[in-house]
Structure 1
């Protein structure tokens, strides 16, 4: 409870919760809107809408991260919430599929700027690592509760009203989020030393590609995308066309996915006090592989409703194990001034992985069936899992010994360094890629 004693975090968390619940209602409503407009081709329509969403995330997030340190973040976040509320309010009135695509692009462009900026604020208001870890778990728990409860709420509402009214819940959530953000003291970001536009935009990606554990995180993002596309894109068609159930069962199967994640979110704070992030996250990736194997089995043999609930729950648990610790890994892999850039890079690069999985789940399953489509997604998930295990060193200390060359002897950074025989300066500290450290230590100098 001490985590919520601080007013600023309490308000930000509340803003996240209300926006999440609104988004959860819209997720169910969007799937049903696609089915209403396209029938059996709903998977293809939803897949296209989600590809548009990913394109917005991949392009807009790095731009937002590059300039987040130059904007008043509180006002910026509130404006983005209002934009999202306005767009969602228009969705119930669309009559053509292209209108859905246009509104989704605008909506997700705002989300692409909002989410990484919001994520980068948390480490600034919670400098203590244990509190930050618990905040990450609380955020995961909130997401899980939304996944669990908003479909249940949607199922209840769908029994008495048209799904078009669900969009109004999203609008209310975004507006409430904007008000809560405005009542929070959000510190300005620490300015980065980078001035060139391209350098600022690409900084996060460069840090990712130069840091071994972050390359592994990117591989795990691919595993999550491969498994998650089954849930996000194919649930509505699987329930309607294979199981033969109605809209309420769509919401319940999505809720089962949330149950898996919520169990993980409740357990992870204590688990992460004892186990390394690598162990937890690779275990989650293996759970995703098992869940996709189960889904593939359901496509071959009718396992029934109970089996589907179990598989969707396992997929949710695996995603929670992978995604909840990511913030901790990003935080210890980056200097404070680079946090907006690295959170934006994670947001952008992870969603680039969904650009691979969403077309397979949408167009591939529509054209070739569940078995072929889910087998292809299984290849993505297994490949990401194997790559993560290989890329992430088992021994991954925070403090690393490294050598600098061509650094002035009076530079404060090497005040504690020892001169080497070849003219370099050797010292050790908590290592991150930045302006002074452009390569990971490993027989190669970190600066030239």
Structure 2
């Protein structure tokens, strides 16, 4: 897997991702302490609102940002957005009112809504070979998992020698370092789209996405991921601290079990995807995490919640979660031309976060109103619904090259010269607006 780091451009981009993630992790801890400092007992409400603002920014702004992104060289865009994020992080220690947190969080996440999809869409252009790109996806998944495990520990270590506002300084350093690493390489810049107006560019990614069967299936599986992930992210603290009456250390270990499962899957995926197609791997991953959550809910209802079972269930959920989400970049890569990939990545970024925008509050409400066991079972049912939809929407034989005809083109059109029926890699574009 590490052989892909021999590519200097990708190596620097991966390093840029890692340092930005570390900075973001420090900011997450510091933001919680800042909310407590300003709002006391209402800190949870403040953080919940900030999370909702983050999701709204991701869902609404990402496709719009990508519609204009091709007007700017990609390296310039990524560096500028990192500088904006650094400036916002630098301002956070100086806030004195809760509304100021909300405004700055919106600016920070608006910049991230432009940065993340553009960054993700750059990687397949830098690594055109599918095997190399698969390794890059697994490395990216590992980076996210390690960040979730290591950033809190790094923040805890720093807090022994500095006060929490200085953690935002680490965030600034992370974003600035990320900008410098991006600046150190030359990035491909797909030709700007001059054929379509602004509205067409804003909606183009969504139209391509929803017209492609494998991507409609990806949306269904993203809902499964959001249903199971919301249970882990929102309710693990309640499961461990309230239902099981365990310590903070137990909470950390429980979350680590989920992260460990995700990392195990990420390490094995490049080899697995070389032998099995994406459809099988992603559907099995979604089925595995759904069954693990359902089994945890069923055994908890019958025999009471047990920590050892929860650790095992969260480890299996982590494996399924990673197996379902990590290959998604491969589907996006093969479903559009290079100039359309940023729009496709932006739509996936937006729609997947829209799923979490539904399941985050639902998971919290179900647990508070009906208890953890009921929440697990209902969310497992919702995940199963997404899984079934994904199976039905994704053709079993998902060929890359498809034989087709064009009935609306003149006989002398360059695309069909030499024969009306022909075969090539099929993606939705101006000449192919419907799936055959």
Same fold (TM over 0.5): yes
The match for 2:135 is 134
Alignment of 1:284-363 (within 5 A): 284-294=285-295, 296=297, 300=301, 303-363=305-365
Tell me: CA distance 1:384–1:200, structure 2 relative to 1, closer, same or farther (3 Å). same
Matches within 5 A, 1:72-87: 72-87=73-88
Secondary structure, aligned partner of 1:414: coil
Q: How far off is 1:426 after superposition?
A: 1.5
> Does the aligned pair in 2 maintain the 1:151–1:251 contact within 8 Å?
no
1:428 paired with 2:430, answer no
- Secondary structure in 2 aligned to 1:404? coil
How far does residue 396 in structure 1 lie from its aligned partner after superposition? 0.9
* CA shift in 2, pair 1:381/1:194, >3 Å: farther
What does 1:44-443 align with in structure 2 at a 5 Å threshold? 45-92=46-93, 97-157=98-158, 165-192=166-193, 194-245=195-246, 247-294=248-295, 296=297, 300=301, 303-417=305-419, 425-441=420-436
Is the CA contact (8 Å cut-off) linking 2:296 and 2:309 kept in structure 1? no
The CA distance in 1 between the partners of 2:267 and 2:28, in whole Å, is 24
Q: Bigger CA drift: 243-252 or 57-66? A: 243-252
- Worse-matched range after superposition: 128-137 or 43-52: 43-52
Q: Relative to 1, partners in 2 of residues 1:242 and 1:24: Cα closer, same or farther, differing over 3 Å?
A: farther
Over 3 Å counting, the alpha-carbon distance change for 1:381 and 1:46 in structure 2 is farther
Comparing 119-128 with 249-258, which one deviates more in the overlay?
249-258
1:349-379: per-residue Cα shift (whole Å, max 9, x none)? 1111111112213444345543444444333
**Do 1:58 and 1:349's aligned partners in 2 also have CA atoms closer than 8 Å?**
yes
Query: Aligned pair in 2 of structure 1 residues 39, 279: CA closer, same or farther (>3 Å)?
Result: farther
CA deviations 1:315-355 (Å, max 9, x no partner) are: 22222101111111111111122111111111111111111
Q: Assess, with a 3 A threshold, how the Cα gap between structure 1 residues 110 and 428 changes in structure 2: closer, same or farther.
A: same
How much does 1:280 deviate?
0.7
Pair 1:89–1:360, CA change in 2 (3 A):
farther
Equivalence for 1:6: 7
Tell me by how many angstroms 1:81 deviates. Answer: 1.4
Contact 1:203–1:341 (8 Å) recurs in 2 = yes
TM-score after normalising by structure 1: 0.88
Aligned residues: 434
- 1: CA distance between counterparts of 2:249 and 2:98? 23
Shift in Å, 1:33 = 5.6
State the superposition RMSD in angstroms: 2.7
State the alpha-carbon separation in 2 of the partners of residues 238 and 35 from structure 1.
23
The verdict on how the C-alpha distance between 1:318 and 1:70 changes in structure 2, with shifts beyond 3 A counting, is: same
Shift of 1:269: 0.5
Using the TM superposition, give the Cα deviation of residue 392 of structure 1 relative to its aligned residue in structure 2, in angstroms: 0.6
Q: 1:36 to 1:312 in 2, by over 3 A?
A: farther
Question: What are the superposed Cα offsets for residues 38-94 of structure 1, whole Å, 9 maximum, x if unpaired?
Answer: 788766554433222111011111012112211121121112112222333444555
Partner Cα separation in structure 1 for residue 234 and residue 204 of structure 2: 32
Alpha-carbon distance in 2 for matches of 1:20, 1:90:
19
Between stretches 100-109 and 55-64, larger displacement belongs to 100-109
User: Shift in Å at residue 124 of structure 1?
Assistant: 1.4
Aligned residue for 1:142, secondary structure, equals helix
Q: What is the CA-CA distance between 1:304 and the residue it aligns to?
A: 4.1
Partner Cα distance (1:235, 1:37) in 2: 26
Change (3 A) 1:3 1:12: same
**Superposed displacement of residue 125, structure 1:** 1.3
- 66 and 54 in structure 1: CA distance in 2 versus 1, 3 angstrom threshold: same
CA distance in 1, matches of 2:94, 2:313: 35
Larger mean CA deviation between 408-417 and 256-265 belongs to 408-417
Does the CA-based 8 Å contact 1:28-1:251 persist in structure 2?
A: no
Find the aligned partners of 2:370 and 2:175 in 1 and give their Cα distance. 38
Residue 262 (structure 1) shift:
0.8
Moved more, 358-367 or 171-180: 358-367
Gaps of 5+ in 1: 418-424, 442-448
CA contact (8 A) 1:147 1:257 kept: no
Q: Residues 410-433 of structure 1: CA distance to partner in whole angstroms, max 9, x if unpaired? A: 22211242xxxxxxx211111100
Distance in 1 between the 2:371 and 2:35 partners? Answer: 18
Q: TM-score, normalised by structure 2?
A: 0.90
Counterpart of 1:421 in structure 2 is: none
**Equivalent pair of 2:278/2:327 in contact (CA under 8 Å):** yes
